[in-house]
Amino acid sequence: MTLQSVPDLQHRTVLLDEAVDALAIEGTRADGVYLDGTFGRGGHSRKILERLSARGRLIAFDKDPMAIATAQTIADPRFAIVHDSFATLDEALAQHGVKQVDGVLMDLGISSPQVDDAARGFSFRFDGPLDMRMDTTRGVSAAEWLATADEQTIAKVIREYGEERFALQIAKTIVARRAVEPISTTRQLAALVAQAVKTREKGKDPATRTFQAVRIFVNQELEELEIGLEKAFRQMAQYGRLVVISFHSLEDRIVKQFMASKAHVPQPDRRLPIRAVDLPQPLAKLHSRVKPSDAEVAANPRARSAVMRSLERTAEAGS
């Protein structure tokens, strides 16, 4: 299947051109190796392939079996797909004989097909099994976790990953209900949250924060992000680019702090007799933060919370 004949996958890639532009795939950099940390339905990957030379390579990652199936329709010798998290990128690169990469793109959002498929259990808008796993072939589902976790743990997850002030009340309600019947569907969980949450921001469903929290926890999203960022930067060649699109404050905070740590170094006391050339130098240079345009948000409301941050590695690899 050619890139031009890919069917409509009912998913709009957020910040498509902006993200790929930020990788700076031009000139000799088009011969490089690039990583797409979340293939999704392939919007970013296809755009990257359009810009690579015949010698360039793209390795994409995804935990979702449906994303893997979509990726396998791309018949391009420059492309490879890995059925795993981008947190395993060092192992994958070793298996593909790659020592350094020239750019890494991480789109941290879940795709529209995932959200809109009731069988996946990501959304309270559809009644379906309470699964929420990105990779349905492994791990513990949301229903299984809620059936066994203690009240304190449930409250902590909902409070920390959902930034939900009614976390304890929600946890108490869940534990009380599961003693009567299993909580196995999205509609059951959403109803329990609505019962426990007395007030909510206008226009926001009471279950929004809880569903986000449980999904993040079940998939270990923040832990994998922290690991993936460190590994990506470690494998990056000098002048390589790291581009990350996040969709909520917890992700964006991790990305912002990580990039800042690479772009800034502690400076010694100015009173010390140290030449400017001998001062410690930052490992990377930050680029401007990018948000979707009003036109993109109007065409794709799910883009409204997206934030893109990027950096360029200025130090030699291994520094």
> Is the distance from CB of 251 to CB of 163 less than 8 angstroms?
no
Using the Cα atoms of residue 129, residue 131, residue 136 and residue 141 in order, give the sign of their dihedral. negative
The answer to the question of whether 150 is labelled as a binding residue is no
DSSP readout, the chain? Answer: --GGGPPP-S-PPTTHHHHHHHTT--GGGGGSEEEES--TTSHHHHHHHHHS-TT-EEEEEES-HHHHHHHTT---TTEEEEEB-GGGHHHHHHHTT---EEEEEEE-SPPHHHHH-GGG---TTS--BS---SSTTSS--HHHHHHHS-HHHHHHHHHHHH--TTHHHHHHHHHHHHTTS---BHHHHHHHHHHH-----TT--TTHHHHHHHHHHHHTHHHHHHHHHHHHHHHEEEEEEEEEEE-SHHHHHHHHHHHHHHH--PPPPTTS---GGGS---SEEE---B---HHHHHH-GGGTT-EEEEEEE-SPTT-
Number of residues that make up the chain: 319
The answer to the question of whether 114 is labelled as a binding residue is yes
Q: How far apart are CA 150 and CA 204, in angstroms?
A: 27
> For the chain, how long is the longest CA-to-CA vector?
72
Structure tokens at 49: 């392939």
Q: Which residues are annotated as a binding site?
A: 42-44, 62, 86, 107, 114
- Please report, in range form, the residues annotated as the binding site for S-adenosyl-L-methionine: 42-44, 62, 86, 107, 114
